[in-house]
Amino acid sequence: MSPIAVGGPALFIGTDTPCVALVRPEIDPAQPEVREAAERAGVTPEEFAGPADLWQLIADRTDGEGLEVALPGLADADAAAFVGRVLAGLADPDAGFTAELAVAGHGLLRLDARPAGEGFAFLARVTPPASEGAAPLDVEIGPTPLAELRAELEQFRRSLS
């Protein structure tokens, strides 16, 4: 993410790299880059920052491959519904599940989960919109403890309120 992207709801599946993240960054009007851009635009930094309502999907693999996709059509309710599907899948720690995140009928993120030890491992497929011109990216995410997953998902859901 850029240095001006701070705060806002953020869901990370995986720790460090590899991971996929669904984030809605907030732009901090105190950042020098924001102040400079606002000055060039002829507005105050607070006006330039405006509301943080643009979601991003970020995928990162250990081999250096990654994607960052802007999601202008994603609403907080869509993000919350995705988290609800993942939490529902975690209810049976002995079964795998698939959860998808879509905007305007386009599947952007498909999360295939499988039991792994005391948690789950994931294969995340990020499929950018055709307008992005990028190929889908698969990210293998190693086992994450169930309690850690649930805590991350619940914290994300609370941050949407």
* Rounded Cα gap, residues 156 and 53, in angstroms: 15
Residue 143 has pLDDT above 80, yes or no: yes
Identify the domain containing residue 136 by its residue range.
Answer: 5-160
pTM: 0.82
* Rounded Cα gap, residues 4 and 1, in angstroms: 8
In total, the chain counts a number of residues equal to 161
- Residue 41 or residue 67, greater confidence: 67
Total domains in the fold of the chain = 1
Q: Where are the beta strands (DSSP E) in 14-65?
A: 19-23, 26-27, 55-60
The band of 133, judged by pLDDT with boundaries at 50, 70 and 90, is confident
Looking up residue 57, the CATH number of its domain turns out to be 2.30.31
* Rounded Cα gap, residues 87 and 154, in angstroms: 9
Q: How would you classify the pairing of strands 106-116 and 26-27?
A: unpaired
